[in-house]
Each structure stands twice: as structure tokens, then as C-alpha cells.
């Protein structure tokens, strides 16, 4: 079924008043080889459960799909809905750059990013737009179920579903265009928002269902793990400051600090231009529950082979210089050896 009836939770949300002059939004859905019924259900849930005057357009970004039913058939079907536009990319860009293409072609005041396999509930849009309307530097995210009845500050958003003021999105520099395909973009944008003067909130009265898939339709330039690792290293090098050493890990770790991540000059200059705070500030003020102590050395402990049996020196790897250091002498008795 394309149009389904969803259970409506939180009846108090229906009683809340919203401003009459909320901004319009461009709903951006990127897809590649999406299931026909799933894509249509996503679009219909937006059309059927959103106030028409708030929807400037639904922009479907086709990231070079190969399925025939997503070509002429989709064009013909969507032609009956004046507010639906299809933007077809000439080659596979990946999710991150496909979203950027959608943002650059959007005409609404607010950008609302949704995945192409979602189902919006009744009243999902108004709370998001009102939050952005009241504070243009707040990024509003919907939820499926929330226990707390207050807006919740969110250190890192999921990435696929959120509303943001269009001008503010571009003031922040959008996503890092150097990120490939998929992975890490949610953290990059989250750090950028928080550290550069904005906030991210989960809005309890906005509920959107999401299909979590086991497979990923995107092809990666190398392999999925290497692509995500490369993206995460770009994020770490620009935003984590001295805490990037915790990301890389201590001792023997899979992530290679020498990985080629491309030029980071533009992203670092953007951070300076926006006068963003440090990652230490982020940890202390946005995510204080996360304990991330900076340590000078840790990792593998071993004994020196050239010492006598009753004297063992403990050594560990200095992760900052990637060399072995003697930390202190340990004299062990025979029962401890």
C-alpha cells in the first residue's frame, strides 16, 4: 500500500499552536535504485501529511539509478504532482554530493532532508519548521519515538533526516564536498553546527518512520570500509583537534594516519572564518557525559629481552611520535615473573 494510516502518538502535540507565518521548505530526497513502492510511499507521506502551503517543492534527486522503472515511468507518475521535481544526475555522485546538488537547486526557505525510504506521520513538518523559524541556527531533527516531552539537545544527529535554514546551511559551508559517497557526513555537519554557534535538537512532536536496510545501494570508489575511513579521517583532521589521537587509536590500529584524504586547506580556513570553538569546548558543553581523556602514551606493554630475569622494564608505545619508550622500571620478585 502506498498510503497507510499510522498510529498517532503524543496527543498533546496536536494541541500545540504554531506560528501562522512559518517558512516554506524544500523536501530533498536522494535515491538510487530505490524500490518503487518504497519511494512512492515516502513521497505520498509527505504530500498527504504536510500542510500544502508549507511545501514549496519535493525535490527527488536521482543519483544515476539503473532501474528502468525509475526513468520514464517515474517521470510520468510524478507529473501529476506539481510540487514534485526530479533532478537527475548525469553520473553517480554518492549520497553526500547528491544532497548538495539538491540543496543547490532548492527554492524553499528551509531545507528538509529525508531518505527515500521513510514514512512521515501526521504533523511531522510543522514542529521542525517552527524550531528553525524561531532560531535559524538550530537544526531540527524528527524522531520515531521519544520518551522526554521536551526538545532534546543532540550532540550528533543521524544525518539523513533534518530541517535547516537554507541560507544558514550555505553559511556553514554545507557538507564538506571532499567527503565521498556516504559516511561521516552526519558527524562533520554536527560538529560544524555546534562548534560554530548553532544547535541541534530532536523535536518530540515530529515523527518519521525509517526503513533500515541491510544492504547499501551505493557503489564505493574502493570499498565501503576504506571510503568511510577516509571520510572520518577528513572529519578528524579538521574538527577533533588534539582529540584526533583518540580517534586514530593507540598502539596497533586499523586506521592509517597516512591515508590520503585530499586537500583540507579550504575546510580548515572555513573553520577559522566561522570562528568555531575547540573540540574540547564541544566535549565539555555539548557532550559532557563522554569522557575522553588525552593520554601521552598507551597501548602494548612488553618486557625488554636484554634484561636480567629479576629486572623487567615496562615499555609502551608513544602514539604521538609512533616510537617505543621506557616508562618506568619494574622490579618483580620471582613469584611475579
Residue 237 lies in a domain: yes
pLDDT per position as a tens digit, 76-103: 999 999 999 999 999 999 999 999 999 9
CATH number, residue 103: 3.90.550.10
Is beta strand 199-210 parallel, antiparallel or unpaired with respect to 138-143?
parallel
pLDDT per position as a tens digit, 180-221: 887 889 999 999 999 999 999 999 899 887 776 666 665 555
Residue with cell 553546527: 193
Same domain for 78 and 197, yes or no, is yes
pLDDT of residue 29 exceeding 80, the answer is: yes
User: In the chain, where do the E strands start and end?
Assistant: 25-31, 55-62, 84-88, 110-115, 118-120, 138-143, 152-153, 162-165, 199-210, 302-303, 312-318, 323-330
Q: What stretch of H or E contains 103?
A: helix 95-105
Among 267, 285, 303, residue at a domain's last position: 285
Give the pLDDT score at 228. Answer: 86
Question: Which of 55, 34, 334, 32 is CA-nearest to residue 181?
Answer: 32
CATH number, residue 277: 1.10.8.460
Do residues 337 and 326 touch, judged by C-beta distance below 8 A? no
Residue 6 lies in a domain: no
- Residue 234: which domain range? 224-285
Same domain for 130 and 272, yes or no, is no
* Number of domains into which the chain is organized: 3
DSSP β-bridge partners for residue 47: none
Per-residue confidence band for 325, with pLDDT thresholds at 50, 70 and 90:
very low
Which range is least confidently modeled, 49-63, 216-230, 309-323?
Answer: 309-323
Residue 172 lies in a domain: yes
Same domain for 278 and 323, yes or no, is no
DSSP β-bridge partners for residue 110: 25, 165
Residue 32 lies in a domain: yes
Residue 2 lies in a domain: no
Amino acid at each position: 500500500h502506498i498510503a497507510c494510516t499510522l498510529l498517532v502518538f503524543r496527543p498533546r502535540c496536536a494541541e500545540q499552536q504554531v506560528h501562522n507565518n512559518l517558512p516554506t521548505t524544500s523536501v530533498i530526497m536522494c535515491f538510487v535504485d530505490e524500490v518503487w513502492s518504497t519511494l512512492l510511499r515516502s513521497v505520498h507521506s509527505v504530500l498527504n501529511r504536510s500542510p500544502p502551503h508549507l511545501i514549496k517543492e519535493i525535490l527527488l534527486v536521482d543519483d544515476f539509478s539503473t532501474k528502468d522503472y525509475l526513468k520514464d515511468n517515474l517521470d510520468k507518475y510524478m507529473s501529476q504532482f506539481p510540487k514534485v521535481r526530479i533532478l537527475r544526475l548525469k553520473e553517480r555522485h554518492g549520497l553526500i554530493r547528491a544532497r548538495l546538488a539538491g540543496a543547490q537547486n532548492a527554492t524553499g526557505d528551509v531545507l528538509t532532508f529525508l531518505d527515500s525510504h521513510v514514512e512521515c506521520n501526521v504533523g511531522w513538518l510543522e514542529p521542525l519548521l517552527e524550531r528553525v523559524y524561531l532560531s535559524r541556527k538550530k537544526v531540527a531533527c524528527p524522531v520515531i519515538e521519544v520518551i522526554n516531552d521536551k526538545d532534546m539537545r543532540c550532540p550528533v544527529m543521524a544525518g539523513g533526516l533534518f530541517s535547516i535554514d537554507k541560507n544558514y546551511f550555505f553559511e556553514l559551508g554545507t557538507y564538506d564536498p571532499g567527503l565521498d559517497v556516504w559516511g561521516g557526513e552526519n558527524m562533520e555537519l554536527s560538529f560544524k553546527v555546534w562548534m560554530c554557534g548553532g544547535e541541534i535538537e530532536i523535536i518530540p512532536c515530529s515523527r518519521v518512520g525509517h526503513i533500515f536496510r541491510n544492504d547499501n545501494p551505493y557503489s564505493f570508489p574502493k570499498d565501503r570500509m576504506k571510503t568511510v575511513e577516509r571520510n572520518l579521517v577528513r572529519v578528524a583532521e579538521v574538527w577533533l583537534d588534539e582529540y584526533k589521537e583518540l580517534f586514530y587509536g593507540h598502539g596497533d590500529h586499523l586506521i592509517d594516519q597516512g591515508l590520503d584524504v585530499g586537500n583540507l586547506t579550504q575546510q580548515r580556513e572555513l573553520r577559522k572564518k566561522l570562528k568555531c570553538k575547540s573540540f574540547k569546548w564541544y566535549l565539555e558543553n555539548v557532550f559532557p557525559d563522554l569522557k575522553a581523556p588525552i593520554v601521552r602514551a598507551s597501548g602494548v606493554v612488553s618486557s625488554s629481552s636484554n634484561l636480567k630475569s629479576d629486572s623487567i622494564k615496562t615499555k609502551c608505545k608513544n602514539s604521538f611520535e609512533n616510537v617505543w619508550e621506557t616508562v618506568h622500571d619494574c622490579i618483580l620478585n620471582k613469584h611475579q615473573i
